[in-house]
Amino acid sequence: SDLAVFSRKGSRLVREKREQMEKQKAAREATDAAGTTLGNVLGVANPAAEATEAEKIAAEVAVANGPAVDAPPGQAASEFARSKTIREQREYLPAFAVRNQLMQIIRDNAIVVVVGQTGSGKTTQLAQYLHEDGYSRYGLIGCTQPRRVAAMSVAKRVSEEMDVTLGQEVGYTIRFEDCTSDATLIKYMTAGVLLRETLTEPDLDRYSCLIMDEAHERTLDTDVLLGLLKRLVARRRDLKVIVTSATLNAERFASFFGTVPTFTIPGRTFPVDILFSKSPCPDYVDSAVKQALSIHLSHPTDAGDILVFMTGQEDIEVTCQVLADRLDQLDHGDGSVPALAILPIYSQLPADLQAKIFERATGKARKCIVATNIAETSLTVDGIMFVIDAGYCKLKVYNPRIGMDSLQVTPVSQANADQRAGRAGRTGPGTCYRLYTEQAYRNEMFPSTVPEIQRTNLANVILLLKSLGVVNLLDFDFMDAPGDETIRSAMYQLWTLGALDNLGALTSPGRQMVEYPLDPALCKMLLTAHELGCTAEVVTIVSMLSIPSVFYRPKERLAESDAAREKFYVPESDHLTLLHVYNLWRANGSRDSWCTKHFVHPKAMHKAHEVRTQLVDIMRSQRVPHRTCGTDWDVVRKCICSAYFHQAARQKGLGDYVNCRTGLPCHLHPTSALYGLGFTPDYLVYHELVMTTKEYMQCVTAVDPYWLAEMGPMFFSVKETNWGHREARLRTQREQQGMQAQLRAATGHGQAAGGLG
Ligand code: CDP
Ligand code: MG
């Protein structure tokens, strides 16, 4: 019978695997012995010490692999086979060749800057080396990443390399998601997570080593952490800090810490041919698609994979779609065009789809990865031979004049462009196609990107630093100080939200806000909900705003999905619409089938629920009661207004809005519940402004102008709601000046306050 055949087959497989395993065990012992000799050869100063070093590693590897050998054959055997190849991969990395020298420098210094080309093993190997050298016995080995995606995928990779379950010895923590346990020794996390940990544990005593990875990216969180760690190392002599950078301008880091050693991992790179566009290209998506097709059709499939750099989810999706369509058109169903695996990657993409870029494509098809700048340094995919660089990226830019952040498509810097090109030369000589002219590269691109701290909203950072006891931000040691106007405007925003008092000190609501891993405005919404007795509703809204959109809009079923979404609409509010979706999902048993039927992302809903659970926990610990307002939606809208009155818009003509404070036009987004309803409120507040073809307000709620006057008295009064924007702006200026004058008087530091103002 089938069963008999199956079991016979099964047992034969087990036998084969057992044999295979024994062979590998023998091979491993041989390599380990070789490793010891290698240690002797490499070890210069003290050969004996190096030998014991290598022996120690060999012993540790044997221990790590030990259970696999004793474990029941079958699955364990295949695991073992995999760990063997992974081990070879590890030893092939440039970092491995200099492991001993590197660890020696780390032993001798509290802070070390490590520079190495992308893919040299900084992110995956450093933490393991520290663990293998025993540092994990004294505390966690933490490694921060600028991006969530990188933290997750690297932790997964390292858990595989160490042959442990993700979340056990190796884990990761990102905002709203903790995949660590008591067993965790190596912890990958976003820089933001570590920043928040400093609030409850200023000395970070749980950690024996901290790796600040990808410091060259100069994200806001990394920059603030660098300042905090500099202070911390002076207090904690036992702490090891390693700062890594993929670029060569590492001296900046070294001198920031007061001349610490820089260790360079010698790179192994191949030449990359750089080809510029002859003329500026009118549409970078179209040019990228053509270039990818031309590469794919003119080079044999095994000549290497393609990596395309785009700016974000939207143009990535379009690029993938158009590329697939054109391939379909070319192939007349006769298989004349070789298969191409088209793989998008951007931060909001679900994790399982992200992981696909690391997998081998089915049938050995060529891969074409279409990525944001996430693939520039954070993620390394082997086998890329062709890079197509559109030359743009999305940058968060804060405009202090209009008082808000927005994502803007901006040309990349020369450093970014070079980094992108380098991705083609990792496994062999490659080619980089730049979809811009050489002239644009030389004359129009900055040498490197402006650090985030100098271009984004600092409200969160200021709140955090204030609660860490940094009274005057000018005393804080920033690598590059943020602009005065940016600090002033963020402090002003915090003051309008009631988080800072007239003297710039943290208020009691401000102190409560710090407890939540949310933007100050969302915290404010929760605090008002506490006052008005609708925490149950508002915490749902805040959770839904903290995740990517829950609405699923597949390109081929747009009309159908839009109709499904419209059924959820609450006419006066997108926020209430989100609440409605969540409540219906819960009422329907949180079922995935319900989601699919209504074009809602099931994973996003579960995520929202998780976020909500965590926020509710924090509220409980803050003794904020869980109370519902029943169906009194006005109360909920009032809470929303209390948090976003600084982002209010007034109707000018039918359906035309202008920002109340700046007078700049802003538009309802076509996916808003308020769009095309015939009913357009006179006043509304919005969650964020998105600039695409126009300035669109994302997620809006109709508000009563009296609420604006009540909640945002610094901007509005009942009489003044009809004022022009010029008066409003003048008033804002007066308020700001008033606050600064008080600050100056209070601190008596003419210079300090002058810096703030
Ligand atoms: O940090 P750095 O750029 O120096 O290198 P890394 O991220 O540690 O990558 C070292 C190697 O691990 C590369 O060959 C990557 O392709 C591989 N890797 C992987 O296969 N899967 C991951 N999730 C991360 C890295
Ligand atoms: Mg890295």
Measure the CA–CA gap between 242 and 240, rounded to whole angstroms. 7
The pLDDT assigned to 718 comes to 64
Question: Atom 17 (ligand 1): residue with closest C-alpha?
Answer: 380
How far does CA 577 lie from the centroid of its chain? 27
- Beta bridge pairs of residue 53: none
The pLDDT assigned to 300 comes to 87
Measure the CA–CA gap between 629 and 26, rounded to whole angstroms. 70
Question: Is ligand 1 within 6 A of the CB of residue 354?
Answer: no
Residues 6+ positions from 698 with CB-CB distance below 8 Å:
669, 686, 687, 688, 689, 690
209 CA from centroid of ligand 2 (Å): 17
Question: Is ligand 1 within 6 A of the CB of residue 291?
Answer: no
The pLDDT assigned to 752 comes to 32
- Number of C-beta neighbours around residue 722 at 10 A: 9
Pocket test for ligand 1, best of 125, 380, 384 (most atoms within 8 A of CB): 380
Tell me what the mean pLDDT of segment 461-476 comes to: 87
pTM reported for the whole predicted model? 0.76
The residue among 648, 635, 636, 632 whose CA lies nearest residue 712 is: 648
Q: Which atom of ligand 1 is nearest to the CA of 116?
A: 4
pLDDT tens sequence across 200-255: 899 999 999 999 999 988 999 999 999 999 999 999 999 999 999 877 667 888 89
The pLDDT assigned to 612 comes to 96
- Number of C-beta neighbours around residue 360 at 10 A: 10
Contact 118, 419 (CB under 8 A): yes
- Buried b / exposed e across 563-585, counting CB within 10 Å, b at 16+? ebbeebbbebbbbbbbbbbbeeb
DSSP helix/strand/coil, 185: coil
Pocket test for ligand 1, best of 98, 117, 124, 381 (most atoms within 8 A of CB): 124
Question: Atom 14 (ligand 1): residue with closest C-alpha?
Answer: 119
* pLDDT confidence bin for 742, thresholds 50/70/90: low
pLDDT tens sequence across 744-756: 544 434 333 332 2
Q: Does residue 167 have a pLDDT over 70?
A: yes
Token representation of residue 102: 């590197």
pLDDT tens sequence across 122-135: 999 999 999 999 99
The pLDDT assigned to 670 comes to 86
CA atoms within 13 A on the CB side of 597: 10
Q: Which atom of ligand 1 is nearest to the CA of 377?
A: 3
Ligand nearest to the CA of 264: 1
Question: Is ligand 1 within 6 A of the CB of residue 382?
Answer: yes
pLDDT tens sequence across 254-284: 899 988 999 999 887 789 999 999 998 888 9
Question: Is ligand 1 within 6 A of the CB of residue 153?
Answer: yes
The pLDDT assigned to 469 comes to 87
Radius of gyration for the chain, computed over Cα atoms and rounded to the nearest angstrom = 28
pLDDT tens sequence across 347-383: 878 777 888 888 877 777 899 999 998 888 877 788 8
**Global ipTM:** 0.98
The beta strand positions in 77-118, using DSSP E, are 111-116
Q: Does residue 63 have a pLDDT over 60?
A: no
Q: Which amino acid is at 136?
A: S
Ligand nearest to the CA of 378: 2
pLDDT tens sequence across 326-350: 998 888 767 778 889 999 998 878 7
Tell me what the mean pLDDT of segment 168-179 comes to: 95
Question: Is ligand 1 within 6 A of the CB of residue 244?
Answer: no
The pLDDT assigned to 145 comes to 95
Parallel, antiparallel or unpaired: strands 272-276 and 262-265: unpaired
Measure the CA–CA gap between 710 and 380, rounded to whole angstroms. 52
The pLDDT assigned to 738 comes to 65
132 CA from centroid of ligand 2 (Å): 19
Please tell me the least confidently modeled range out of 406-415, 583-592, 694-703.
406-415
SS (H, E, C) 210-239: EEECCHHHCCHHHHHHHHHHHHHHHHCCCC
* pLDDT confidence bin for 27, thresholds 50/70/90: low
The pLDDT assigned to 719 comes to 58
Average pLDDT of the chain is 82
Question: Atom 18 (ligand 1): residue with closest C-alpha?
Answer: 380
Q: Which amino acid is at 479?
A: M
Q: Does residue 420 have a pLDDT over 70?
A: yes
The pLDDT assigned to 364 comes to 78
